[in-house]
Every structure is written in C-alpha cells, then in structure tokens.
Amino acid sequence: MYEVKKLVKKFGKVEVLKKIDLVVENGEKIVIIGPSGSGKSTLLRCLGRLEKATSGKINFCDKDINKISKTHEIGMVFQSFNLFENLTVLENITLAPIKTKLMNKETAIEKAKDYLKKIKLDDKENAYPADLSGGQKQRVAIIRALMTDPKVILFDEPTSALDREMIEEVLNLMEEVAKSGITMIVVTHELNFAYNFATKIIFMDDGKILESGSPQELFNNPQTERLKEFLKN
C-alpha cells in the first residue's frame, strides 16, 4: 500500500522527519506512538498528502503519491474533527461523494443514512456540528471519511481533543471500522488501545523510527532506552 523511502521533511531549517523508511501492507493496522514533537503527525500528514516531502519518496499503491489523481482513496480523520461548520451532519457526509461524482445524490444519502444508523446518530442528520458533542463529531468525521470508500484511513490523534467518557465511543467505532479489513494508520497516545488494536506498532522519536514490531514485542520487550522511558510514563 505505502512504500516510504528516505523521507525527509523540513520546516524551514528544522528537520522534522529524518530519512524515514516504512512499508505498509494492505489491511495492516499500524499505530504510531512517541513523545510530542517526534514527527508522528508530520509523517501521517505526508502520507495524507497534506505535506510535501522535502526529499525522499512516498509510493501509494505503486505510484508516486504526488501523481495519484483519486485523492479520496486516502481518507483522513483529524484531532480537531474538521467538520464543515456551515453544513448539517448529513450534508457533511454526502457533500464530497456527490460533488466529486463518485455516486449520485440518492445513493449517497442512502449510504449516509445507513452509516448514521450504525453509529446511532440517525436522529442528528439535520443537526449542525456546533450542536454535537466532541465524540459525536469525531464519529461523524469517521463515517464521512468512509463514504468515499478509501483504501486507507489515517487517524491523527483522533481522541486527543476528547473527554475521557467520549474517547471510548470513538475507539469502539475505530475497532468496528477495522473489521472491514481496511488499512488503518493511527497516531495516538492511547497505549492500551494501541496494544489491542495494532498489528504493528511504530515508535518514533526525534524524527526517526526507533523501533517497530508487534505490540507484544514492543511493549513487553522494548529494545531502546527511549522506548523504555516512554512506556514508563
């Protein structure tokens, strides 16, 4: 799915990503962990085409990521939800598939209502984002990303802006989504979730991938001092 080679990203003179190499296979659930400022989100944003690599290469489905035309194949969920404030829940979900002519209006609305029913928000289809709780917003954002049938969904700290009791509902939905077999890459600080959810965990620090492997390997048998220290906190 993804093939990342010697990815370097600089903001001005600051090198945020230092020659990252990474391969993501179809269907993998990857969780990226690491301290703040380690470059996790920047890496994810590069994979989501929101940042351009300073040097190095990212291939998506064997193609240069800058040359793919179907941008909706990479879905993304953000820490701050980023729902469209001027649109209702239903419009938020159906706008992109209709306007990009991915499906006609009837199909889109039907599909959207199905999804809303599944997450038990069908009574909110005409509400505006401002009327929803944080957890509800993020769940709407997740099904909005699902609507365009992406091949991968990137989650950028999806629960960091939420209260404790709302984190659960979002994580549950993510586990539900994972069952469909879709590839997911998640940046999060929820280590318990990471342990149960991930097929592979990546530990980043200072713009580099220090360790990667199964949750058991990393959590039970950390190799580097940095990871040991990180897990202690």
Partner 1 sequence: MSFFNEIGDMFYKTFIYENRYLYFLDGLKNTLIIALLAVIIGIVLGMVISLIKDYNKETKHLKVLTKICDFYVYIIRGTPVLLQLMILYYVVFKSIDIPILLVGILTFGLNSAAYVSEIIRSGILSIGDGQKEAAKTLGLSYFQTMRYIIFPQVLRSMLPALGNEFITLLKDTSVAGYIGIVELLKASDIVSSRTYDYFFPLIVSALIYLFFTFLLVRLMRMLERKLNHVRS
| Residue 230 beta carbon to partner 1: minimum distance, rounded to whole angstroms | 28
Least distance in angstroms from the C-beta of 100 to partner 1? 5
Instruction: Enter the DSSP assignment of 222.
Output: -
- Looking at beta carbons only, is 84 or 195 nearer to partner 1? 84
H or E element in which residue 32 lies: strand 29-33
The Cβ of residue 92 has, within 10 Å, a number of other Cβ atoms equal to 25
Whole-number minimum distance, CB 83 to partner 1, in Å? 8
Which one-letter amino acid corresponds to residue 214?
A: S
Q: 74 or 218: whose CB is closer to partner 1?
A: 74
Residue 120 falls in which region: left (phi positive, over 0), alpha (psi -120 to 50) or beta:
left
The nearest distance, CB 150 to partner 1, in angstroms, is 9
| Binding footprint of partner 1 on the chain (CB under 8 A) | 48-50, 70-72, 74-76, 78, 80, 82-87, 95-96, 99-100, 102, 128, 130-131, 141, 144-145, 148
Which residue's CB is nearer to partner 1, number 112 or number 227?
112
Q: Where are the beta strands (DSSP E) in the chain?
A: 2-11, 14-24, 29-33, 55-60, 63-64, 74-77, 152-156, 183-187, 200-205, 208-213
Q: Is 216 within 8 Å of 194 (Cβ atoms)?
A: no
Nearest residue (CB) to partner 1, 24 versus 74: 74
Q: Give which of 68, 13, 10 is closest to 39, Cα–Cα.
A: 10
Select 88 or 199, whichever has its Cβ closest to partner 1. 88
Distance (Å, whole) CA 232 – CA 128 = 41
Nearer to partner 1, 124 or 226 (CB): 124
Give the burial class of 207: count Cβ atoms within 10 A of its Cβ; 0-12 exposed, 13-18 middle, 19 or more buried. Answer: buried
Q: Shortest approach of partner 1 to residue 128 CB, angstroms? A: 6
Min dist. Cβ of residue 117 to partner 1 (A): 21
d(CA 188, CA 155): 8
The pair of three-digit structure tokens given for residue 203, joined into one six-digit string: 């530990």
